[in-house]
Amino acid sequence: MGNFEYVRLILVIIVLIIGFILLKSNKSNKYNNRISKYTVKNNSAKRLSLGDRVVNVHSNLRKSLVKYLKKSIYFKNKAIKYERFSYIDTPINLIATKFTFSILFGIVYIISSMYELNFELPVLLLFLIIGYLSYNVYLLINEHIRNKQIEQDLLKAIIIMNNAFKSGYNITQAIEFVSKDLTGPISDEFKRISSDMKYGLELKDVFDRFYTRVKLDDVKYITSSLSLLNLTGGNLVGIFTSIEKSFTNSKRIKDELNAMTSSSKLVFYILLGMPIVIIIILLWLDPTFFSPMFQNPLGILLSFAALILYIFYILVIRKILRLE
């Protein structure tokens, strides 16, 4: 590995560290606010750490970008699709963060290209696009994890609401019980539901908005049940008792399926990673092992065909191991 490769590797590591600091800065601020009342402030310690400086630079850059983005009708319309991530930040701030990551990736390429004097504008544009889209990956992964937590806690929320109805409480009080008794994303969502109801929205509408944010089938089932309740009338306790039984049976079936398919999933992941492990071992033994494949058109064609076969291999293995 030449000096240039070492420089680029170091820059990539620095980018990953900075990105991790920026992504975790919001959570760190929340933790600091929680424990600040239990600590003694030291007025003499005015010097900021390196991580705090990075976060401050990012915050100032993002504030400057937000001022310009708010003036753009295009980005105001584009921010609408980021409203479902409002639990992280405001939509326009998320777009500004995407631009800061794009700038960060561009700086990495400029520094590395200056070291070897091979600057190319198309490659810079590619780095800027990758940086801009990289934050989307974080948002989608975070959304997937969050929705999984909501799906797991939704049954608890329905049980709390049903018990509240049986005790004579109204729907507003039942929703407030859920937001206070539970923690995590489900609590945040029920706080938003409570806020929507305070603005005068109907129960069916607030759960419909809930489904729009999380896109879970269980929430859609609740919305359909409440729609049926509005059309035909009925007992709210009976509806939520039916929903509770349905969710309980569904959770039991899912747990049984997970237990039955756990070994199949393990086999799938082993077969999925085996070709990658073999390639890594071959490259470790001989870094130039695959070089001839990329030195002529036939080798590139075979590499592309191998990639297509690998994707087909994954689909076939999933089909074989899937339990209907």
pTM value is: 0.66
- Regarding whether 234 and 260 lie in a shared domain, the answer is no
The stretch 302-313 carries a mean pLDDT of: 85
* pLDDT confidence band for 282 (50 / 70 / 90): confident
Q: Is 158 among the domain residues?
A: yes
pLDDT for the residue numbered 26? 56
pLDDT for the residue numbered 217? 85
pLDDT for the residue numbered 44? 47
Q: 54, 57, 56: which is closest to 21 by C-alpha?
A: 54
Range scoring the smallest mean pLDDT among 48-62, 132-146, 153-167: 48-62
Q: 153, 173, 155: which is closest to 164 by C-alpha?
A: 173
Q: Is 221 among the domain residues?
A: yes
- Regarding whether 268 and 234 lie in a shared domain, the answer is no
Confirm if 135 and 149 have CB atoms less than 8 A apart.
no
- Regarding whether 163 and 101 lie in a shared domain, the answer is no
| pLDDT at 192 > cutoff 80 | yes
Largest CA distance in the chain: 77
The stretch 79-93 carries a mean pLDDT of: 82
Whole-number Å distance between alpha carbons of 324 and 318: 12
Q: Output the six-digit token pair for 232.
A: 């035909």
Q: Show which of 213, 238, 263 is a domain's final residue.
A: 238
pLDDT for the residue numbered 321? 66
Give CA 318 to chain center in angstroms.
24
Q: Output the six-digit token pair for 207.
A: 């759960």
Alpha helices by DSSP H, listed for the chain, are 3-35, 50-69, 73-78, 91-116, 121-166, 171-181, 185-198, 203-214, 217-232, 236-285, 297-321
- Regarding whether 175 and 112 lie in a shared domain, the answer is no
Q: Is 42 among the domain residues?
A: no
Mean pLDDT value across the chain = 78
| pLDDT at 242 > cutoff 80 | yes
Count the Cβ atoms, other than its own, within 10 Å of residue 126.
14
Strongest mean pLDDT among 52-66, 183-197, 256-270 = 183-197
Whole-number Å distance between alpha carbons of 143 and 145: 6
Percent of the chain with pLDDT over 90: 0
pLDDT for the residue numbered 280? 85
294 Rama class: left (phi>0) / alpha (psi -120 to 50) / beta: alpha
Whole-number Å distance between alpha carbons of 69 and 95: 8
The domain total for the chain is: 3
Whole-number Å distance between alpha carbons of 68 and 61: 11
Q: Show which of 99, 119, 139 is a domain's final residue.
A: 119
| pLDDT at 315 > cutoff 80 | yes
Range scoring the smallest mean pLDDT among 41-45, 123-127, 134-138, 211-215: 41-45
pLDDT for the residue numbered 22? 61
- Regarding whether 274 and 210 lie in a shared domain, the answer is no
Q: Is 166 among the domain residues?
A: yes
pLDDT in tens, 18-40: 666 666 655 555 545 555 555 55
The stretch 237-254 carries a mean pLDDT of: 86
Confirm if 310 and 275 have CB atoms less than 8 A apart.
yes
- Regarding whether 15 and 66 lie in a shared domain, the answer is yes
SS3 276: helix
Q: Is 177 among the domain residues?
A: yes
The stretch 229-241 carries a mean pLDDT of: 76
Count the Cβ atoms, other than its own, within 10 Å of residue 108.
18
Whole-number Å distance between alpha carbons of 54 and 23: 12
Domain hosting 268: range is 255-321
pLDDT for the residue numbered 301? 86
Percent of the chain with pLDDT over 70: 79
- Regarding whether 160 and 111 lie in a shared domain, the answer is no
Tell me the C-alpha to C-alpha distance, in Å, between residue 306 and each of 293, 299, 301, 309, 312. Answer: 11, 10, 9, 5, 10
Q: Which has the higher per-residue pLDDT, 48 or 217?
A: 217
pLDDT for the residue numbered 4? 52
Three-class SS string for 4-53? HHHHHHHHHHHHHHHHHHHHHHHHHHHHHHHHHHHCCCCCCCCCCCHHHH
| pLDDT at 194 > cutoff 50 | yes
| pLDDT at 43 > cutoff 60 | no
